[in-house]
Amino acid sequence: MRREPAVPLDLIVLGVLMVLSGGMDLYLIVANPEYGIPTFGTKRTGAVGWALKLIAPPIHFVSGYGALRGRRWAWRFLMLYSLYGLANAAVNRMLLPAPHRIRTLFLIGTVIFIGYLYIRREHFRS
């Protein structure tokens, strides 16, 4: 019987953090229903804003599950979502009013995270 190789600890931690992030997203959506999410330089409210807010929790849950299992599709999923986040934050930083401390930290952190994902890509194997 063939046994799957163990998932590295860093991917397990990443998976747990992504699942927790999905839970935190749900809490923040419920606790702040009036919050308009900044998306590519505009603050979305109403039905579009709710739809955009409700996309994030399942993305975090699914990518967290994939990382916990070391799935190859999770690497692609995390990479695409990170690149989307990077593009969105860059446009928001250029178009939305200051202060930009959080956006700048997010941009730096996302670039580091993309580098980490690239280096660890071979560990998303099954």
Give pLDDT tens digits for 9-66.
Answer: 999 999 999 999 999 999 998 998 888 888 898 888 888 888 888 999 999 999 999 9
**Confidence band (pLDDT; 50, 70, 90) for 2?**
low
Give the per-residue pLDDT at 4: 67
Report which of 116, 107, 34, 17 is spatially closest to residue 68, judged by C-alpha positions.
Answer: 17
The whole model's pTM is what? 0.85
d(CA 36, CA 23): 19
Report which of 82, 74, 84 is spatially closest to residue 115, judged by C-alpha positions.
Answer: 82
